[in-house]
Structure 1
């Protein structure tokens, strides 16, 4: 999944220095927020509206982007 994400970011010309993948499960938005704080992430992308809203409530300064879910 990480290699696919890297490829997508390059194709879309979105600069990045690191990718952190966090799987689904209990309290996913909180687990993602913990990583965002620890790594001092400035831009966060996710395909889950609830997660984006949670991150925005925690820190309106962090750039958040809602990515459309791809059909599988």
Structure 2
């Protein structure tokens, strides 16, 4: 856990915090999440969806 400086009040804030505990300003992390989230999270969701589709297809082929 690293500390960064809040853009609003100038106090130290954890990089894991969604907002500054002192002034309530959103952190860069929370702004990034609001804009679309991490690319890694998005790609892992896409990958799990692909696995689900493959499993369903295999079950249909085996039972069909």
TM-score of the superposed pair, with normalisation by structure 2: 0.24
Higher helix share: 2
Q: Computing the radius of gyration over CA atoms, which structure comes out larger, 1 or 2?
A: 2
The alignment's TM-score, normalised by the length of structure 1, stands at 0.23
